[in-house]
């Protein structure tokens, strides 16, 4: 389950990107959104609102 805190959320997603996924799109496509308490749009908005943008060259949010 993804955390609600934006910093923890970014950290968890970046870890998953580093260890398992070649892109944010691949990660978001693989998440079982039925199990999450928020939608993909909620996650993307939470990250953007906290100032985190995806860098495809680094394959991470920063």
pLDDT tens readout for residues 2-60 = 999 999 999 999 999 999 999 999 999 999 999 998 999 999 999 999 999 999 999 99
d(Cα 17, Cα 13) in Å, to the nearest integer?
Answer: 6
Residues 6+ apart with CB under 8 A from 11: none
CB atoms within 10 A of CB 12: 14
- In this structure, are strands 60-61 and 54-55 parallel, antiparallel, or unpaired? antiparallel
| Closest by CA position to 9, among listed 56, 47, 62 | 47
Q: Is the pTM of this model over 0.85?
A: yes
Please tell me the predicted confidence (pLDDT) of residue 37. 87
């Amino acid at each position: 389950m993804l955390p609600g805190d934006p910093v923890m959320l970014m950290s968890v997603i970046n870890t998953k990107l580093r260890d398992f996924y070649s892109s944010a799109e691949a990660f978001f496509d693989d998440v079982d959104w039925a199990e999450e308490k928020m939608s993909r749009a909620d996650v993307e908005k939470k990250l953007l609102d906290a100032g985190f943008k995806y860098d495809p060259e680094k394959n991470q949010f920063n």
